[in-house]
Structure 1
Amino acid sequence: MSTKSNEFPRQRKALFRDWSPSIHYAQIQRMPAGKLAARRIYDFELLFVVQGEAATTIRGERLSLPAGQLIFLPAGVVHQNEAVSKPETIFLGIHFDFFDELEIQTEADVIVNEAYLHPERFAHEAVTDDFRPLSNHLVYTPTLECVQWMEQLVHEFTMRPLGYELACKALMMNILLQLMRLQHERSRPLSSPHDIRLLELIEQIERRPALAWSNALIAERLNLSTDHAARVFKGFAGLPPNEFIQAVRHREARRLLRESDLTIEQIAEQVGYAGIHYFSRLFRRVEGISASEYRKLSKVL
C-alpha cells in the first residue's frame, strides 16, 4: 500500500450523528525556542498557541502562528513544528480521531515510525456535505468560547473525573463545529460592498480593541444607519457589535494577563475599559474567576 504524504488525510463522508471523536492526548506544554523533528501522526491534532509565537512547516509552506491561533494537523501529512519565541512558547495540544477508530496506548501509537509503518492505522477525517473539510485550510483563529472549550477539555482529560470521556467527546464536537463554521464564514464570497467594509472593520477592531467603538461609530464606518449597521454586523460576525467588541477585548486582556507584568488596572485601560471595577465584573462573569486569579493560574499552567 502506498503511503505517500500527498495521499493524506484519508477522508470518510459521514453524517454528524456518526461522528464520535475520541481524545488521545490533551495538555498544555511549554516548549523552549527551537524546531522539533519533522514527523507524521496517525491521528489528528489541534495545536493552539497560548503564549508566544510558533510556526509549522507543512506541504512545503512555513505557516506563522501568533498567540491566539491554532493549526489543524492532519493524519499522515509530514509537518515540522517550531517554537519561535524566546525563551519559550506555550501550546495547548489535543490529539484525537473523528470516529473512535484508534487504540492509543503509547506514543508509538500516535507518532509514525517510518521504519515500522502501519498504513492501516491512519485515522480518517470526517467530511460532510454541509462544510468543507478542516484540512482544506489549516490555520484558524478560534473564538473565545472555543478556546474555553479547549481549556475545559484539557482539564477534563487531565483530572479524569467520573464521565470525563463523555465530557471530552461533547466538548470536541463543539470545537470541531466552531472551526467548521469559521471556515464556512471565511470561504463565503464577499458579494456586496457591505461585506468588504465589514471585513475591514472587524480587522480594525481586532487591531485596536481599545478604541471607543460604539454602534454610532460602526454605523459611520459602514455608512449605514445605526440599526441597519447593527443588523448587518451581526449577520456577518455572528454577534452584535457590543458583544463582538467585548469578546475581542476579553481575549486581549487574557493575553496581557498571561504575558505581561502590567497591573490589572493598566490592562483594563489598555483593552478599552476606563474603570477597573467594570472590567473586573465582566472578566469574572466570562471566566468564573477574577483577573488576578486567572493570572496566577496561567503561571501554574
Structure 2
Amino acid sequence: MLLKEYCIDITRKAGEYPGLDMNMGRRVMCPEYSINQIDVKSFPEEERGKAFVLLWHIEKGGHLSATMKPYRQEFVYQCDFTPQVRTQLHTHDYIELAYIVEGRFHQRIMGKDICFKKGELCLIDKNCPHQDFLEEDESIILFIGLANEIFDEVMVRNIGEERILNFLQTSLMKQKDIQQYLHFKPKSQEDEALEPHLLQLVTELSTNDVAAAYICKGVIMRIMHHISSKYEFNLSNDERKKMKWLIFEEVTDYISVNYRQITVKDLADRFHFNEDYFNRLFKEKTGGTYLEYLQEVRLKQAYRLLRSTDISVEEVAEQVGYQNKGYFYKIFVEKYKMTPAKTRKL
C-alpha cells in the first residue's frame, strides 16, 4: 500500500470516537485565538519509543480528519474549518519533522510564510514559533515528533550531512537562544525511496508493541540518513555562524572543566561529531588546532596555580594534565619565556 492510501485509510476507518478528551482536539488542531500568546505543545506521555506521528488529511471544502499514533485510545478527530484559517502560534518541546504526502502546505515560521510542496520536508527545532495554514484544496501532512532521547550517539553519527549535524547538535543543547528550521527539497523529482520508510514508521507506531520502539528508532535513522543525502537545503550565512558559535561555546565550556584528562575522542563521543570536525571548528574560530587550544587552556591554568599556590611544579604539571615533566617545562617556557620556577618568584 502506498503512503497516501494508508493515510487516507486510517483517517476514514471510523468517525469521531466517543469519549475523546477535548484537550486532544486542541492538540490535534487548535485554531488561532490570540495574536499575543504562544502555545507550547509537549511530547505525549503515551508514547513508548520517543517518537509519534500526527496525521492531517485536509479535504476539499474545508474538512479536516486527523489522528495520532500511538495514543491510548484509537481516534479520528474531525472538524470543519474556514479556508485560510491559521492554527494558534505555537512551539514544541520536541523536534518536529513534517512531510507533505499530498498537495501543498503553508506554514508561518518565525514570521516568514513558506509553502511546502508534495515530497518536501520541514525540520523544526524546539522552541521555534510557527503557525499552520489550513487551505481549501486537498492535502495530507505527516508530522513526526522526535524526542531528544532518540538522537543518541549511534543515531547522530550515521547522519552524513554536516549542516544537519549542526542543526541537531544545537537543538540538543540545554541552553541555547537560537531558533531554527530546515526546508528539504528532493534532489530528484521522482524520489520514491523515502515514503516506504515513512509508511513503515507509521505502521510500527500504530502497532506500538514492545518491539516497535526499537524498530522505529532504526527506521528514523534511515529517514534521517536518506534526507541528508538525497535532499537539498540551504542555511543563511548568519544562521550557520550562529550555530557554529553555539557549538564552539559548548565545546570550550566542556574543555574548561575537563582539560586535565580529555581527548578529541571524548569530544566526539560527547558531541556526536567526527574527530576531524573539531580541528576544522577550532581552526575557524581560533586559527589553531584542537590540541593547540587545549594546550593554551592547560598552560594558563598552570600559570595561575604557580602564582596562587605553593604546590610543587611537578604537581602543577600533573594537575593540568601533563605526566611528562620535561615536556611541560618545554612548552611552558615557549609560551611565557621563563621557567615555572621563575614564574613563581614574580
Length-normalised TM-score, structure 1:
0.41
Q: Larger C-alpha radius of gyration, 1 or 2?
A: 2
